[in-house]
Chain A
Amino acid sequence: MKFTEDHEWLRPEDDLIVVGITEHASTQLGDVVFVELPELETQVAKGDEVVVIESVKAASDIVAPLDGEIVAVNDALTDNPALVNEDPMGEAWFFKIKPADMAEYDAYMDEDAYQDLIS
């Protein structure tokens, strides 16, 4: 698993990358009440805003960590946005992306580097 400076986690799954937000980010956001997921088969560029997370107080974005295509979204979050608070590192993944270049994944932080970032 790798981590971005935007507090996303990236987990390889075959030739896809599963994307979620970290426990740290989930705590910072507070109670999540709504998640707007991207359309399937959307081509995204690294840095594009692809998900909107609404907490009680504010809206925040998740950006695409890689160039690629959105090939799956987690519909469970539509029915139960609170999953983002309950299980951010597991059940509450947001989308799966088919990366244009897997090497972009390798450039991200490992867990130790991420822990240093938030400590």
Chain B
Amino acid sequence: MTDLKRTPLYALNEELGGKMVPFAGWEMPVQFAPGVMKEHLHTRAACGLFDVSHMGQVILRGAGAAEALEALVPVDIAGLKPGRQRYALFTNDAGGILDDLMVANYGDRLLLVVNAANAEADIAHMRRAGLEIEPLEDRALLAVQGPAAEAVLEAATGAVPARFMDVAEVETSYGDLWISRSGYTGEDGFEVSVPASQAEAFARKLLAHEACEPIGLGARDSLRLETGLPLHGHDIDEGTTPAEAALTFALSKARRPGGARAGGYPGAEIIAAQLETGPERLRTGLLPEGRAPMREGVQLFASEEATEPAGAITSGAFAPSLQRPVAMGYLPTELAKPGTQITAELRGKRMPLACAPMPFQPSTYKR
């Protein structure tokens, strides 16, 4: 584990009893003493603190930064107002998803947050496109999530952004905090970029609140799955398009055919054509019957008799909030309709499951 990177909260994670595992080149806490189930339920009931410092933070500055980024994403960045954040996708020439990311407008700069596993490739991709970017090595990223997140963060900082996807810069005794009202758990909550030197003190302050507990990446994964949020490298990747991934909401009107700045990003023609005709396969929610979890890689069949798989599960687990297994995966579009009965092959046995709308667990964002 010698060449794994450590976040500014490594020592605190260890002190808190985090079970550290390799994750995307980093040494990260997968769980703490209560375990995934209790950590998951605590986040839904009160407030969870997640160290997500492994994710890539990149700054883009100057006049023309938004337009330059638009050359890489099918998303309206030029129209993103100061104080707002938007979900975006890096696409490739085939219309596939290189990564998903958050783009926030802090007025004098854009802050991009990208997946840990893709950060290096994303940075190279942006540099090849001529973007003058500034990867941040000296800031940690903390996610504060759950119904008590607002109270916890307000107690520590005195001010929080008001609505889902609002962002704000707040001067505190923990330095200059960049706060977005967002996260990846389905809960109301925040992601806070904090100077690395202040990260531990700030995390301790958050944890001093009675509602706030440290939560590992295991529960982060089960929380985002219940909320139907895709995970890059699993539910979406460079072989899946935004339409196939049911992420057309991320394709801004201004960048679609007929829009003010239509096209001009990798794979634009392919993505535009798919918007027109609809994709041949679609990411869908899946509810296995019974209690056996069905996980990534389990093959899906149109019927019990079918011999050729129609698709596969890309994420699946037991959902702690629902006390039942849930999954998502890809099926031909005609099968990927809520209520359609299909079968999966689990350890050599055919087991029934049904297509279902997502999210499985409703989100509680403050709109």
Contact indicator A33/B295 (Cβ below 8 Å): no
B85 at the interface (CB under 8 A from A): no
Residues of B within 8 A of A34 (CB): 291-293, 318, 325
| Contact between chains at A36 and B37 (CB < 8 Å) | no
Contact with A along B219-230 (1 / 0, CB 8 A): 001100000000
Q: Residue A52 contacts which of B30, B317, B347 (CB distance < 8 angstroms)?
A: B347
Q: How far is the CA of A52 from the CA of B318 in the complex (A)?
A: 15
Partner among B35, B221, B347 whose Cβ is within 8 Å of the Cβ of A31: B35
Could you tell me the distance between the alpha carbons of A97 and B147 in the complex, rounded to whole angstroms?
Answer: 49
Interface assignment of A59: CB less than 8 Å from any CB of chain B? yes
Pair A36/B292 contact, Cβ less than 8 Å = yes
**CB <8 Å contact, A57 and B317:** yes
A32→B271 CA distance, assembly (Å)? 42
Q: Which of A31, A33, A57 contacts B291 (CB 8 A)?
A: A33
Q: Is the interface of B mostly helix, strand, loop or mixed?
A: mixed
Complex CA–CA separation, A34 to B289 (angstroms):
13
CA distance A32 to B274 in the complex (A): 42
Could you tell me if B347 and A57 are in contact, using CB atoms closer than 8 angstroms? no
Interface centre among A31, A54, A56 (most CB of B within 10 A): A56
Tell whether B141 is near chain A: CB-to-CB under 8 Å. no
B300 within 8 A of partner (CB): no
- CB <8 Å contact, B292 and A31: no
Report A-chain residues with C-beta under 8 Å of the C-beta of B31: 30
Task: Give the A-binding residues of B (Cβ under 8 A).
Answer: 30-31, 35-38, 40, 218, 221-222, 291-293, 295, 317-318, 320, 325, 347
Closest 6 pairs between A and B when the two form their complex, measured CB to CB:
A31-B37, A33-B318, A56-B36, A34-B291, A30-B35, A54-B293
